[in-house]
Amino acid sequence: MNFIGKILGFIIGYRYGGFAGAIAGVILGHIADKKLYELGSVNSSFFKNKITRQSLFMQTTFAVLGHLSKAKGRITEDDIQLASNLMAQMQLDSAQRQLAQEAFNRGKSIDFPVRQVIREFRIGCGQRADLLRMFLSVQVQAAFADDHLHDNEKEILFVIAEELGISRLQFEQMLAMEMAARQFTRNGGFYRQQQYQYEQAGGQQYQQQGNYHNSYRTSSGPTIEDAYKVLGVNSTDDQQTVKRAYRRLMNEHHPDKLVSKGLPKEMLEMAKEKAQQIQAAYDLICKQKGWK
Residue 210 or residue 165, greater confidence: 165
Question: Would you say domain 167-187+222-291 falls under CATH 1.10.287?
Answer: yes
If pLDDT is split at 50, 70 and 90, which confidence band does 10 have? low
Question: Which pLDDT score, from 0 to 100, does residue 145 have?
Answer: 75
The tens digit of pLDDT for each residue in 92-133 reads 889 888 989 999 999 998 899 999 999 988 888 776 787 788
If pLDDT is split at 50, 70 and 90, which confidence band does 50 have? confident
CA pair distance 263, 256, nearest whole angstrom: 9
If pLDDT is split at 50, 70 and 90, which confidence band does 8 have? low
The tens digit of pLDDT for each residue in 20-32 reads 766 776 676 656 5
Question: Which pLDDT score, from 0 to 100, does residue 118 have?
Answer: 94
Question: Which pLDDT score, from 0 to 100, does residue 240 have?
Answer: 92
Q: Looking at the chain, which residues constitute the CATH 1.10.287 domain(s)?
A: 167-187+222-291
pTM over 0.85: no
Share of the chain above pLDDT 70, in %: 70
Question: Which pLDDT score, from 0 to 100, does residue 70 have?
Answer: 87
Residue 44 has pLDDT above 70, yes or no: yes
Range 157-167 average pLDDT: 93
Residue 247 has pLDDT above 80, yes or no: yes
